Amino acid sequence: MKIRLSDHFTYKKLLRFALPSVIMMIFTSVYGVVDGLFVSNFAGKTAFTAVNFIMPFLMILGAVGFMFGAGGSALISKTLGEGKEEQAHRLFSLIVYVSVACGIVLAVVGLLCIRPIARLLGAEGEMLDDCVLYGRIILIALSAYMLQCEFQSLFVTAEKPHLGLGVTVAAGCTNIVLDALFVGVCKWGIVGAAAATAASQAVGGIVPLLYFFAPNKSILRLGKTRFDGKALTKTCTNGSSELLSNISMSIVSMLYNAQLMRYVGEDGVAAYGVLMYVNFIFFAMFIGYSVGTAPVTGYHYGAGNHKELRGLLQKSLCIITVLSICMLGLSEGLAYPLSKIFVGYDGGLFRLTRRAFLICSFMFLFGGVGVYGSAFFTSLNNGLVSALIAFLRTLVFQISAVLVLPVFWGVDGIWWSIVVAEFLSFVVTVVFLIVLRKKYRYGKGEISSASVAENSDTLQETDS
């Protein structure tokens, strides 16, 4: 049975609707990890360090796609909830066309700036050349990458999450197969890894364009539109938290790399790279769930269904809580084998990476609430609060912690700073949920850990 945005959502239906987005985000992260795995084992530690060193800069340029995807999804779903279907089609087309143009402009800027940026960040010699070579190949497909990022949200809004999952799987398989061919068989090293990634991004961005241009059975389609500055401003405002999150994480990654180079050297950057690959997979579950449920929240907010909105929030907090506990246990258990797979060829690097895993695992206890809370307020079209949560979580708390804690705890302070930042963002998110509950009428009384625990007992509820 097809699930529609207008349905009443129980735990079972909510999980079924969000599951394709969760799998989609996990798969996207997994094939990124495979990229790093091939580079590390076939191209060596310097090439692997270079990829992780320049990746934050590339992510900053691509972050615009997340902004258009999240912000556009919130506005389009709200418009659909208000019964304005034709306007939703025009908004959808406008957002896609503008993002393509932005991708072209940013790619040109990136190609011109990548060498001085890499040098400014501290890359030298062979590592500098690897950074530039990898980055320039990736930038060729920047527009496609931005489309891939935004369609992860827009497929859900179009009530086609399974199709979005299929496109992501196709893109991921393209990357994995080409990585094995270019890096493993042909021995092209960092060039092969970049070419495989660029090809997969082309698949992930262009296939959805062809689908939405052609006659289709979704509730959205690409066609004629007109420039609407107000709608674009609203889209950018709604999606500012996602843009800010990605830019902030990239800036913070650069700072972490700088701190690790200072305290440990190249081994620290390599260990942090492994940690971030696994972090992407685990947090992909939180992000995927948030992306998958955001259009539902936006629809019922637009339709004025406050009781359904309250139920969505309560059920989501319960699911996030259970998922967070499971992630902590899984991360602790996988610390040894994952470190061995990535950097087992270097004993010192292996021990450093495993130590980082054991400490940083505790961030998963708190990180999910911050991710979901930011997405929840985006879907309510409150870009300011969403952006503030994202800004504090991914920039202010992270930077403060990584600058202060290493002074007292050395390298361990760098790892603990990630946990501290996520805990503080958890606190801030809960405060916003409590303070704004009356404005959006999504809860009676305070949202507390006790209510979350109470709701967890009914996680197996099914459609009545």
Which pLDDT score is estimated for 82?
82
Around 448, how many Cα atoms within 13 Å sit in the side-chain half-sphere? Answer: 6
33-47, 369-383, 444-458: least confident range: 444-458
pTM: 0.67
Full DSSP string of 401-427: HHHHHHHHHTHHHHHHHHHHHHHHHHH
- The H or E element that residue 2 is part of is none
**Whole-number pLDDT of residue 39:** 79
Question: Tens of pLDDT along 95-143?
Answer: 999 999 999 999 999 999 899 988 887 777 888 888 899 999 999 999 9
Q: Is the pLDDT of residue 227 over 80?
A: yes
**Quick check: 31 pLDDT over 70?**
no
Looking at residue 1, what is its pLDDT? 56
Q: Is the pLDDT of residue 393 over 80?
A: yes
How high is the pLDDT of residue 81? Answer: 81
Token pair, residue 417, equals 């700073």
User: What are the extents of the domains in the chain?
Assistant: 11-456
pLDDT at 464 over 60: no
Residue 326's CB is within 10 A of a number of other CB atoms, namely 13
Q: What percent of the chain has pLDDT over 90?
A: 17
DSSP assignment string, 245-308: HHHHHHHHHHHHHHHHHHHT-HHHHHHHHHHHHHHHHHHHHHHHHHHHHHHHHHHHHHHT-HHH
CA 253 to chain centre: 14
pLDDT reported for residue 159: 81
Kindly report the average pLDDT of the chain as a whole number. Answer: 83
pLDDT band at 29 (very low <50, low <70, confident <90, very high): confident
Question: What is the torsion angle, in degrees rounded to the nearest 10, for the CA atoms of residue 314, residue 374, residue 449 and residue 402?
Answer: 160
Indicate the burial class of 19 (C-beta count within 10 angstroms; 0-12, 13-18, 19 or more).
Answer: middle
Average pLDDT over residues 145-174: 85
- Residue 32 pLDDT grade (very low, low, confident, very high; cuts 50, 70, 90): low
Average pLDDT over residues 308-314: 88
Given this model, what pLDDT does residue 454 score? 38
Mean pLDDT of 224-232: 86
At 47, is the pLDDT very low, low, confident or very high (cuts 50, 70, 90)?
confident
DSSP 166: H
Highest average pLDDT, of 1-10, 52-61, 224-233, comes from 224-233
Mean pLDDT of 383-412: 86
- pLDDT bin (cut points 50, 70, 90) of residue 448 is very low
- Per-residue pLDDT band for 447 (boundaries 50, 70, 90) equals very low
Q: Tell whether the model's pLDDT for residue 450 goes beyond 50.
A: no
pLDDT at 106: 92
DSSP code of 169?
A: H
**Segment 387-409 mean pLDDT:** 87
User: How does residue 416 score in pLDDT terms, banded at 50, 70 and 90?
Assistant: very high
Q: What is the mean pLDDT of the segment spanning 398-423?
A: 89
Mean pLDDT for the stretch of residues 188-217 = 88
**Sign for the pseudo-dihedral over CA of 53, 106, 29, 453:** positive
